[in-house]
């Protein structure tokens, strides 16, 4: 066995961001069967949608921490926008208590943005993974789900065909 082979045995390759998200899907839904599938044909990739949605925050991000924070707040706001109005108000109140009023105001702006630009997209953001790359923040992978109530026959068929 050559030196390179011994090195690979000692240090297995790092899992890809997509593999880490698949693993976390199992952690988010412990004891449940989880199926991680690619985005069906005809549906935009959630990573592209989240980048476009978070653009007002990303434009201000200067550090990796700010970049990650922008995606985190955008993900929270995206999911809040999908909630019924009274539940959304309750969650915004919790956000004010945990973070601050400024974060809640930004979330409100993003919720309006979601309703204006992405009203028909009912996917829920569960998690995301950003891979760092030289010269930039890299690529984002998004773990998402859809409310079973929203899973119509057409969308189910597209999932089955693409995976």
**Within-domain flag for 158:** no
**Within-domain flag for 9:** no
Q: What does the block give as tokens for 61?
A: 């991000």
**Within-domain flag for 134:** yes
**Within-domain flag for 25:** no
The pLDDT > 70 percentage for the chain reads 74
Where in the sequence is the domain holding 114, given as residue range(s)? 43-148
**Within-domain flag for 111:** yes
Summarize pLDDT for 94-118 with one digit per residue, the tens.
Answer: 888 888 888 889 999 999 999 999 9
* 162 Cβ neighbours under 8 A, 6+ residues apart: 37, 38, 39, 40, 41
**Within-domain flag for 22:** no
**Within-domain flag for 110:** yes
**Within-domain flag for 2:** no
CA 114 centroid distance within chain: 14
22-26: long-range pairs with CB below 8 Å, 24+: 24/127, 24/143, 25/126, 25/127, 25/143
Summarize pLDDT for 107-152 with one digit per residue, the tens.
Answer: 999 999 999 999 999 999 988 988 776 666 678 889 888 776 665 6
pTM summary value: 0.77
Asked if 128 and 75 count as a contact pair (C-beta separation under 8 A), the reply is yes
Domain count, the chain: 1
């Amino acid at each position: 066995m050559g030196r390179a082979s011994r090195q690979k045995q000692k240090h297995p390759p790092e899992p890809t961001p997509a593999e880490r998200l698949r693993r976390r899907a199992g952690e988010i839904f412990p004891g449940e069967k989880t199926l991680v599938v690619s985005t069906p044909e005809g549906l935009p990739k959630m990573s592209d949608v989240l980048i476009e949605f978070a653009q007002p925050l990303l434009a201000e991000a200067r550090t990796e921490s700010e970049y990650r924070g922008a995606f985190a707040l955008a993900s929270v706001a995206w999911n809040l926008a999908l909630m019924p109005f009274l539940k959304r108000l309750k969650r915004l109140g919790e956000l004010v208590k945990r973070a601050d009023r400024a974060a809640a105001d930004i979330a409100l702006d993003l919720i309006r943005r979601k309703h204006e630009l992405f009203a028909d997209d009912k996917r829920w953001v569960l998690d995301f993974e950003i891979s760092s790359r030289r010269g930039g923040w890299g690529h984002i992978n998004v773990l998402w789900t859809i409310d079973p109530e929203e899973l119509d026959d057409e969308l189910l068929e597209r999932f089955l065909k693409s995976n």
